[in-house]
Amino acid sequence: METKMTQTRRLLALATVALLYTGLSGCASTGELASLKSQIDQASADAAAAKAEAATASRDAAEAKAMADKAMNTANQAMSLSKETDTKIDRMFKKAMYK
């Protein structure tokens, strides 16, 4: 259990901290507040610009993926046609050999 003296000290320390915080926060000048607002506005603008760039990058990535998918489909079709042609040539060669 805390003694009455310890409780009083703790209460006094908390009151001192609260007064210091209130006093220090009240010391900000109008210029400092304007500077802080300017920094907040700049950070907000930077965040908006980053968000726009991210959206553009996402859109570009989606387009690149679509192009890659199309290229892969074309390559698969070419491979399939190549195999078909190879099979036809092989059959023609075997047929010519039997004659």
Tell me the C-alpha distance between 41 and 55, whole Å: 21
pLDDT on residue 41: 87
In a domain, residue 6? The reply is no
Domain count for the chain, please give it: 1
- The answer as to whether 21 is a domain residue is no
Cα–Cα distance between 69 and 63 in angstroms, integer? 10
* Contact residues for 20 (Cβ-Cβ < 8 A; gap 6+): none
Residue 40 belongs to what domain range? 30-98
**7, part of any domain:** no
| Residue 51, amino acid | K
Does 13 fall in a domain? no
Is 8 domain-assigned?
Answer: no
Kindly report the pTM of this predicted structure. 0.51
DSSP-derived secondary structure for 38-53: HHHHHHHHHHHHHHHH
Q: What gap in Å lies between CA 28 and CA 26, rounded to an integer?
A: 6
Instruction: Name the one residue in this structure whose structure tokens are 């109008």.
Output: 30
- Give the model's confidence band at 23: pLDDT under 50 very low, under 70 low, under 90 confident, else very high: low
Most confident segment among 22-26, 47-51, 63-67: 63-67
- Specify if 92 maps to a domain: yes
Bigger pLDDT: 61 vs 9:
61
In a domain, 81, yes or no: yes
Instruction: Report, in angstroms and rounded to the nearest whole number, the Rg of the chain calculated over CA atoms.
Output: 38
How would residue 81 be classed by pLDDT, with cut points 50, 70 and 90? very high
- Position 88 scores a pLDDT of 93
Q: Is residue 16 part of a domain?
A: no
